[in-house]
Chain A
Amino acid sequence: MYVFTTNHYIEILPNLWSGFLFTLLITITGVAIGFVLGAIFGLMRLSKIKIVYGIATIYVELVRGTPLLVQIFFIYFGLSDFMNINLDKLTASIIAIAANAGAYIAEIVRGAVQSVDKGQTEAGRSLGLSSRQTMLYIIWPQALRRMIPPLGNQFIISLKDTSLFSAIAVTDLMYEGRQYASSTFADFESYIMVAIFYLVITIPSMLILRQYERRFERE
């Protein structure tokens, strides 16, 4: 019989707070690195040079075609075994989420760049700008604006995905919740609180994104 008390909802807070900060650290660093990877691989996907396009395509498809849980196990256990290095859990988590988000962001970047009207490139080139200058000053700034909604979306997805890293005992939000639940048997309270902590980030993010999209549509 379930009896409602406020005790667990409050006692769990310090644990979840530290896990929450850890989750944010992994997500923000990971997605930031993922954006750099995504920008590089996304532009490579637009290359006319076959080998460049090929490398980027292999990366994107390998990541998108395998589960994140497999990726984190591969990086944390597989790679460290293979290369005989000792990756700590935090580093492994950041690498995993960066590589994972990077592949999806590469597709976002590619789509956004392709969505810029071809006439923009022609106008730039006809003025004597090189293809690099045209990309840098004309195409990229326009593409970047279109990337913001899907990038925000990817941030939310990656934030939630980091919960999988509790499987390698990264002390993130999910892990802290699990720990508390298993030591107190207060599963109901624990996971409600874990969910609320995720929602504290995801709901405002979604609202901000919706606002941006609305403004964007008006323009």
Chain B
Amino acid sequence: MIQVKDLHKSFGETEVLKGLTTEIKEKEVVCVIGPSGSGKSTFLRCLNMLEEITDGHVVIDGNDLTDPATDINKVRSEVGMVFQHFNLFPHLTVLENIILAPLKVKKVTKAEAEETALPLLDKVGLKDKAHVYPNSLSGGQKQRVAIARALAMNPKVMLFDEPTSALDPELVGDVLAVMKDLAEEGMTMVVVTHEMGFAKEVGDRVFFIDEGVFMEEGPPSQLFDNPQNPRTQSFLSKVL
């Protein structure tokens, strides 16, 4: 589903990603952990070209993002993204937030878009919030709307960029529960997270990234319980 080959990313003189190579299979849930500033968010943002790729290749479902002939909007419409700060559109209601992209990108009718949107809202437990504006929602509710908004495009992959980091602790659970359901339904997911419990329970594979390289990767049981790399050991001893 996703192939990453020797991915490099620099901001000016600073090289943030120093040659990442990996492959993520369909229906796999990959959690990316690492200290702040390690490049984990940048890695995720390269997967849908929110960051320009300095060197190397990212191939999503056969489309090489660095190929100028690739229709980047088309690829992005099939890759959902959920942000740390939700990024809901404040001038649109919850329902309008969800149907905007289906209307404008997929060109479906309003009735069709709403037919998709309402069950999604129900799924994230916010059916009664369809006609309110995002400002009146709690952080956890906003993030669940953001997940529904991404799902409305029927993506093949979902990217999560620290989806619970900006939430009050008591609101984290609802969001993680929605993500867990999604994983169980077979969604391909890449999750940058500080929630080690989630990574352990839901992740099929965990990447530990530090200083722009994959220091260690493996199934959560191995990476959390028996880390090989001293950097992983030191990081985990601080967060667990």
Please list the residues of chain A having a beta carbon within 8 angstroms of any beta carbon in chain B. Answer: 117, 119-120, 122-130, 133, 137-138, 141-142, 145, 219
Instruction: Name 11 extra pairs, CB < 8 A, besides A127-B77, A127-B149, A129-B100.
Output: A117-B87, A119-B83, A122-B83, A123-B83, A123-B87, A123-B89, A126-B48, A126-B80, A126-B150, A128-B74, A128-B105
Pick from A120, A127, A141: contact of B105, CB under 8 Å: A127
Residue of B nearest to A118 (CB): B87
- Are B101 and A128 neighbours in the complex by a CB distance under 8 Å? yes
Q: How far is the CA of A145 from the CA of B76 in the complex (A)?
A: 29
- Are B89 and A120 neighbours in the complex by a CB distance under 8 Å? yes
Pick from A126, A128, A141: contact of B91, CB under 8 Å: A141
Residue of B nearest to A144 (CB): B91
Interface size for B (C-beta < 8 A) is 26
- Are A145 and B83 neighbours in the complex by a CB distance under 8 Å? no
- Are B100 and A127 neighbours in the complex by a CB distance under 8 Å? yes
Pick from B48, B91, B105: contact of A129, CB under 8 Å: B105
14 sample A-B contacts, Cβ–Cβ < 8 Å, listed by A number: A119-B83, A120-B89, A122-B50, A122-B83, A122-B87, A126-B79, A127-B77, A127-B101, A127-B105, A127-B153, A128-B77, A129-B100, A138-B89, A145-B91
Q: How far is the CA of A117 from the CA of B86 in the complex (A)?
A: 12
In chain B, residues 67-83, which have Cβ atoms closer than 8 Å to a Cβ of chain A? 73-74, 76-81, 83
Residue of A nearest to B146 (CB): A123
B238 contacts the other chain (CB 8 A): no
* Residues on B with beta carbons closer than 8 Å to the beta carbon of A219: 135
In chain B, residues 40-81, which have Cβ atoms closer than 8 Å to a Cβ of chain A? 48, 50, 73-74, 76-81
* Residues on A with beta carbons closer than 8 Å to the beta carbon of B90: 142
- Are B89 and A130 neighbours in the complex by a CB distance under 8 Å? no
Shortest A113–chain B CB gap in Å is: 14
B194 contacts the other chain (CB 8 A): no
Q: How far is the CA of A193 from the CA of B77 in the complex (A)?
A: 62
* Residues on A with beta carbons closer than 8 Å to the beta carbon of B79: 126
